[in-house]
Amino acid sequence: MSQLFGNLVSNALKYTRPGIRPEIDITAQTAGESEIRLHALDLKAAYIKIEVRDNGIGFSQEYAHQIFHIFQRLHSNEEYSGTGIGLAMCRKILQNHQGEISVSSQEGAGTAFSVILPLVHKKNGGL
């Protein structure tokens, strides 16, 4: 989990707008049934939704599906350093914990990553 949230906070700090002080808000709440259905998660389980929101450069929402694929980047290495592995790793970590990640973004207006995790992790017979 530390790698997951470390990547999300690191990205929020990396993709800042020039001259704008970075702001990162992290909130948590119980995930609603509509969100659980949207991600095709187990309706019998309880989930928590953790959101990491920033005021960075953002990106066009049409690329939202692309950023979770390994080695897929929206910017060149000259613009922003990186490997294109971080968000793919985040998705894999969440899949291993029966959770899901999604993103909402707008160019010039920041990005919000939503992480949905079960309150009880049931892998290999329990916690």
- Count other Cβ atoms within 10 Å, centred on residue 105: 22
In a domain? residue 123: no
Q: Determine how β-strand 47-54 pairs with β-strand 24-30.
A: antiparallel
In a domain? residue 65: yes
In a domain? residue 80: yes
pLDDT of the residue at 127: 43
pLDDT of the residue at 84: 60
Per DSSP, the residues of 75-112 read: S-TTTS---S-HHHHHHHHHHHTT-EEEEEEETTTEEE
pLDDT of the residue at 72: 56
pLDDT of the residue at 88: 85
Tell me the pLDDT tens digit for each residue of 3-31.
999 999 988 998 888 899 999 999 999 99
The answer to whether the CB of 55 falls within 8 A of the CB of 108 is no
In a domain? residue 74: yes
CATH code where residue 25 lies: 3.30.565.10
Residues of the chain with pLDDT under 50: 71, 75-77, 80, 125-127
- Counting the structural domains of the chain, the total is 1
Residues 6+ apart with CB under 8 A from 57: 15, 16, 17, 107, 108, 110
DSSP label at 67? G
Range of the domain at 32: 2-118
